[in-house]
Amino acid sequence: MSTPILEMRNITKEFPGVKALDEVSFSVATGEIHGLVGENGAGKSTLMKVLSGVHTYGTYTGDIVLNGEVMHFNNISEAEEAGIAIIYQELALIPEMTVYENIFLGHEIHNNMVIDWNETIKRTAEILKRVKLDVNPATKVRDLGVGKQQLIEIAKALHRDVKLLILDEPTAALNEDDSENLLRLLREQRDQGVTCILISHKLKEVINVADTVTVLRDGQTICSLDAEQGEVTEPMLIRQMVGRAIKNIYPPRESQSASDEVVLEVKNWHAYHPKLGRDILEDVNFSIRRGEIVGFAGLMGSGRTELALSLFGNPYGYLVSGEMQIKGQPVKFTHPQDAIRAGVAYLTEDRKGAGLILIQDVKENITLANLQEIAKRGVIDNNAEIKVATEYRRSLNIKTPSIEQAVVNLSGGNQQKVCLGKWLFVKPDVLILDEPTRGIDVGAKFEIYTIMNDLVKQGMSIIMISSELPEVLGMSDRVYVVASGKITGELPIAEATQENIMQLATIE
Amino acid sequence: MFFKNLQTMLKDNIREYGMFIALFIIMGIFTITTNGLFISPRNISNLINQTGYIAVLAVGMTLIIVIRHIDLSVGFLAGFLGAVVAIALSSWGWSVYIVIPFVLVLGALAGLLTAYPVAQLGIPSFVASLAGWLIYRGLLLLATAGTGTIIISDPVFNAIGNGFIPDIFPNRGFVPDVHIVTLLLGVIAIIFFVFSAISSRKKEQAYDFEVLPPDMFILQLVFVAILISAITWTLAGHNGLSWTTVVVLLVVGIYHFITTQTVLGRHIYAVGGNPEAAELSGINVKQMTYVVFSSMGMLSALSGILFASRLRSATTTAGTLFELDAIAAAFIGGVSAAGGVGKVTGSLIGALVYMSLTSGMNLMNVDIAYQYVVRGLVLVAAVVFDVATRSRGK
């Protein structure tokens, strides 16, 4: 093993209230492919942001040593100059520009500010050959598939003489052929001397290409496994990724409230995303009974949110096919309005972006989805509205100076309770909660769990989408695991463990 | 204590009172520079009548901007529909009672037409309505081709822009030369305002909401009462309340009610505040876009009616720049381009501020070139004030 190209020593990074990285040490040898794995929120992305200058020098503690030299990056371009390139999951290409314009964007070849297009195109052709991509340099990027776009991102990094290439979930959006192609390219680049850090949830592919794998968990380095010193296996990695005691406390459920009555049944559900140009859900089948909490586990991007949205009136216009039944009646929703009327509610994972109207007050947000209930002939009864809002403020314990407070001023936990209040007011039979406790503090989490228990006791059915395994295990009666747009397993809670869920969630 | 309360009240509500204060300052300045001519009953009456056709557009534009769009077509749409009215009255010989609803419906349909590419195809409203601007300008020229001006001789129609409400005791009451009905309406308005203010305060207290301290509440009542009295007295001293004023007050009243008290209004502001959250809350964003644009079209028709009636004719240039005046009035009135924020009453005040500038400077014989500069500066000042006070608001 050669000398390390990169050493990150004792990196600690804190956000208000959270320690995202806790004394993380991470070492990458020159000329290797280094896999970096861990659960959502384990700190992988934060670590890479520290490395690439997104979190600037001084906002973290610890040292970054590149080629034996301690680096202080004050911005992203300084990291780029030092030879570090990071390729994010969301591609940073400009769709309306051509391949060559994209590759040289920000590094144009010019004579006195006049761009030399001939030279640009010539050089682009050479670089494209290096990544084995056979496209015309004058093609617009938007006319290329995601796989090819990914290669162009790599080409863009390579022409800048990158020494350390970081790929964040590069294959998440790719089909099998494109993934394979990309991984082959990575190996070739390694053999030509480019060092590469690969972040991926797909453990199989990490094991396939990586020379070393580092596992992060809860902001700490758990271990670094060297493939030369013994075989790295999936169960091994999974154990390291999840191996923690469940320390969060979940309120106990007094009795089993689940009945045999099936409230929601979905059969042969498919969805195609027209903008991405691929299937996002394939052959999904599941059913929900009255009074149960069903966990939908899986990794980010596995298709759980898309599944929920496609059931909830399909507001983003996926092409959906399949059968959906509510209490035995087949239903077809063309707008969230239809779903709400039929008794389905969906609490979004994106509280601020798609859940709340931040400039409006608590009362207006709570009543928004069911104004008919408090209106007569289209005129809102202000007293009724105040009564409703006051009631939910009390029962959900929303901490706000007044129900006329704009929700933008509330804390995350209280904003989430306002969202929850909005959906409880429509009195649904099936409540879909998408990451219901993301970004809120422990106390508010416990309150939300308690509310969920109360709701199922009253006969509501809850679908809980969550990326936090302890939460899934602590709250669910039953667990479905979703991976790559498919349901890869159904586990009764008695049989579910972090290990077997993770196993099912990382199936390709 | 009193002054401390006054200070906090002004500070807390500076955004809402700011426009009133600006209007008073502007009126005060013009009253001085024109030796009282500006504040004369005749001029105030004229000013309000001139504001009418911009004010109704500003009301519609408020909602358009609230849902994060813009409509440039309204000026020439108003001009064109004014010409349609003139033709229908003079050439086709239609009754005025048929022509008015007919044109209002035409306006609403035109609004739907503008909304179609915006809602259905996601085309920016700037572009869609710019196309409308061109088309209606062309249609206006076609409609007025030939003579250039179409004279309207229908007395009922012309009264909308020039007439006044009838007086039951003409020139006879205890005060001579004063319009009694106008005074009575003023008194009713004051009583209504006082009662509704007291009842809503009581309700708010019952729910433990924050209310103004009693002295400030009384001060507010007295202030509004004086304001209404002053306006009614001034108007009663001329010919009384004009029909245009009645129309504008009706429109503002209806729209104020819709925006603050109805499900429809709440849905519109929700779409403006966060379209994605609104859609996921079961509100049909497309449908709201159609509703708001078609209301804008109908108000454009009304604006065209008011303008044609005021001029007693349709001309080739009717409606020129109305859209920009309406947009300026809405922004002066506190509408936010970021969406979801803005009151129709604010836009009415904005329109008054804007037209006061024109009227005052005309009385002062200020060159038109400087008038544009001043109006521009006031617009910038209003928007800067709005942004500066927004961060301080609740």
- Tens of pLDDT, residues A58-115: 889 999 999 888 989 998 888 888 889 888 877 788 988 999 999 998 888 888 889 9
For B58-94, give the DSSP string: HHHHHHHHHTT----THHHHHHHHHHHHHHHHHTS--
The pLDDT assigned to A1 comes to 47
Reading phi first (left if > 0) and then psi (alpha if -120 to 50, else beta), residue A378 is in left
Nearest to A449 by CA among A416, A426, A422: A416
Answer whether A68's CB lies under 8 Å from A82's CB.
no
A269 pLDDT band (50/70/90 cuts)?
very high
The answer to whether residues A445 and A418 belong to one domain is: no
- Cβ-contact A318, A310 below 8 angstroms: yes
Q: Give the integer Cα–Cα distance in Å for B111 and A208.
A: 60
Q: Looking at the structure, do residues A422 and A449 belong to the same domain, yes or no?
A: no
Q: For residue range A174-184, what is the model confidence (pLDDT) as tens digits?
A: 777 788 888 89
Same-domain status, A159 and A218: yes
Task: Tell me how many domains chain A contains.
Answer: 3
> Of A226-235, A476-485, B11-20, B303-312, which gets the smallest average pLDDT?
B11-20
In a domain, A253, yes or no: no
Q: Is B241 exposed, middle or buried (0-12, 13-18, 19+ CB in 10 A)?
A: buried
Listed in sequence order, the DSSP H helices in B214-284 are 214-237, 243-261, 263-273, 275-280
pLDDT of B393: 43
Q: Are residues A400 and A454 in the same domain?
A: no
Return the number of CB contacts < 8 Å for A and B.
83
Identity of residue A283: D
Kindly state whether residues A194 and A325 are assigned to the same domain. no
Instruction: Output A276 or A366, whichever has higher pLDDT.
Output: A366
Question: Please, is A313 exposed, middle or buried when counting C-beta atoms within 10 Å of its C-beta (0-12, 13-18, 19+)?
Answer: buried
Residue A252 domain flag: no
For B285-315, give the DSSP string: HHHHHHHHHHHHHHHHHHHHHHHHHHHTEEE
- So what's the pLDDT on residue A136? 92
How many angstroms separate the Cα of A426 from the Cα of each of B217, B281, B282? 38, 10, 11
What residues make up the domain containing A195? 4-242
Q: What is the dihedral of CA A24, A28, A33, A37, to 10 degrees?
A: -10
Q: Which residues pair with A9 in a beta bridge?
A: A63
- The shares of helix, strand and coil residues in chain B, as percent rounded to the nearest 5, are 75, 0, 25
Q: Report the pLDDT value the prediction gives residue A247, as an integer from 0 to 100.
A: 52
Please, are residues A51 and A84 in contact by the beta-carbon 8 Å criterion?
Answer: yes
Residues of B in Cβ contact (< 8 Å) with A335? 282, 284
pLDDT, chain A, mean? 89
Measured CA to CA, the distance from residue A157 to residue A85 in angstroms comes to 6
Residue A189 to residue A32: CA distance in whole angstroms: 10
Whether ipTM tops 0.90, in short, is no
Region A146-171: mean pLDDT is 86
Q: Which residue of B has its CA nearest to A390?
A: B207
- The two three-digit tokens of residue B355, written as one number: 């037209």
Contact at 8 Å (CB) between A431 and A347? Answer: yes
Contact present, B81 and B305 (Cβ < 8 Å): yes
Nearest CA in chain B to A346: B280
Query: Which conformational region is residue B391 in: left (phi greater than 0), alpha (psi within -120 to 50 degrees), or beta?
Result: alpha
- Is residue A354 in some structural domain? no
Tell me which of B260, B280, B285, B335 to substitute to probe the interface with A (most A C-beta atoms closer than 10 Å).
Answer: B280
Q: Average pLDDT by consecutive 10-residue portion of chain B (394 residues)?
A: 78 76 89 91 89 96 97 97 95 94 97 96 96 96 89 92 81 66 89 90 80 84 88 85 93 96 96 95 96 98 96 93 95 90 93 92 93 93 82 48
Nearest to B289 by CA among B267, B308, B309: B267
DSSP state of B164: B
- Tokens at residue B113, please? 């037409």
Q: A383 and A421: one domain?
A: yes
Question: Are the Cβ atoms of A354 and B274 closer than 8 angstroms?
Answer: yes
Please check whether residue B249 is in contact with residue B59, taking contact to mean a CB–CB distance below 8 angstroms.
no
Let me know: does A507 contact A483? Beta carbons within 8 Å.
yes
Three-class SS state of B263: helix
Residues A218, A88: one domain?
A: yes
Q: Is B17 exposed, middle or buried (0-12, 13-18, 19+ CB in 10 A)?
A: middle
* Phi, psi of A429, deg, nearest 5: -90, -35
Pair A412, A299 in one domain:
no
Mean pLDDT of A328-338: 95
Joined together, the tokens standing for residue A260 give 């045999």
CA–CA separation, A263 vs A292, rounded Å?
10
Best mutation target, A363, A371, A419, to test chain B (most B CBs within 10 A):
A371
| CA A128 to each of CA A138, A157, A206: distance values in angstroms, whole numbers, following the listed order | 12, 12, 25
Is A257 inside any structural domain?
no
Angle, CA B335 vertex, CA B349 and CA A359 arms, to 5°: 130
Indicate whether A256 pLDDT > 70.
no
B280–A312 C-beta distance less than 8 A:
yes
Mean pLDDT of A475-482: 94
Contact between B238 and B178 under an 8 Å Cβ cutoff? The reply is: no
DSSP strands (E only) in A252-333: 262-273, 278-289, 293-298, 319-326, 329-330
By the 10 Å C-beta count (0-12 exposed, 13-18 middle, 19+ buried), A410 is classed as buried
Which of A339, A357, A383 has its CB closest to that of B340? A357
Task: Tell me how far apart the alpha carbons of residues A299 and A89 are, in angstroms, rounded to a whole number.
Answer: 14
Residue pointed to by tokens 């909005």: A422
- pLDDT of the residue at A205: 87
Q: Provide the sign of the torsion angle of the four alpha carbons A182, A186, A192, A197, taken in this order.
A: positive
Chain A positions touching chain B (beta carbons under 8 Å): 312-313, 315, 335-337, 339-341, 346, 348, 353-360, 364, 368-369, 371-372, 375, 378-380, 382-383, 386, 390, 402, 404-406, 409, 422
Locate the chain A residue with the closest alpha carbon to B286. A335
Q: How far apart are CA A505 and CA A238, in angstroms?
A: 11
| Same domain flag for A407 and A445 | no
Closest CA to B18 of B365, B355, B334, B351: B334
Which of A396, A427, A458 is the endpoint of a domain?
Answer: A427
Type of residue at A25:
S
Q: Tell me the mean pLDDT in the region A430-452.
A: 87
Considering A214, A242, A270, which residue would you say is the last residue of a domain? A242
CB neighbours (10 Å) of residue A106? 8
Do A360 and B269 make contact, defined as CB atoms within 8 angstroms?
Answer: yes
Check A357 against B210: CB less than 8 A apart: no
- Residue B312 neighbours by CB under 8 Å, 6+ apart: B151, B152, B153, B158, B161, B162
Whether residues B267 and A371 touch (CB distance < 8 A) is answered with: yes
pLDDT at A248: 53
**With DSSP H G I counted as helix, E B as strand and the rest as coil, what are the percentages for chain A, rounded to 5?**
35, 30, 35
Compute CA distances A97 → A101, A141, A488, B79, B210, whole Å: 6, 6, 39, 43, 55
Look up the CATH number of the domain holding residue A269.
Answer: 3.40.50.300
> How far does B121 lie from chain A, in Å, by closest CA?
13
Q: For position B174, what pLDDT does the model report?
A: 57
Question: CB-based burial of residue A73 (10 Å sphere; 0-12 exposed, 13-18 middle, 19+ buried)?
Answer: buried
The answer as to whether A468 is a domain residue is yes
Q: Which is higher by pLDDT, A317 or B58?
A: B58
Q: Which of A427, A447, A472 is the last residue of a domain?
A: A427
If asked whether residues A78 and A148 sit together in one domain, one would say yes
The answer to whether residue A348 is domain-embedded is no
Both structure tokens of A488: 């890869």
CB A447 within 8 A of CB A281: no
Nearest CA in chain B to A369: B281
Whether residue A135 has pLDDT greater than 50: yes
The answer on A86 and A181 residing in a single domain is yes
Rounded distance, CA B157 to CA B86, Å?
A: 10
| CA-based R_g, chain A, Å | 25
Are A400 and A452 contained in the same domain? no
Is A412's pLDDT higher than 60? yes
What confidence score (pLDDT) does residue B171 get? 57
- Find the range with the poorest average confidence among A83-92, A197-206, A481-490, B10-19: B10-19
Domains along the sequence of chain B with CATH: 2-163+242-390 (1.10.3470)
Q: Cα separations (Å) of B46 from B163, B230, B356?
A: 11, 16, 10
Distance from CA of B126 to the nearest CA of A (A): 22
The answer to whether position A352 is within a domain reads no
Residues 9..38 of B with a Cβ closer than 8 Å to A: which?
none
Residue type, B315: T
Burial of A177 (0-12, 13-18, 19+ CB in 10 A): exposed
Angle at alpha carbon of residue B215, lines to B196 and B11, rounded to 5°: 95
CA distance A188 to A180: 12
User: Is A18 inside a domain boundary?
Assistant: yes
Neighbours of B233 (CB within 10 A): 15
**B261 close contact with A: CB closer than 8 A:** yes
Strand ranges, E, within A332-460: 344-347, 375-376, 379-380, 430-434
CB atoms B270 and A337 under 8 Å: no
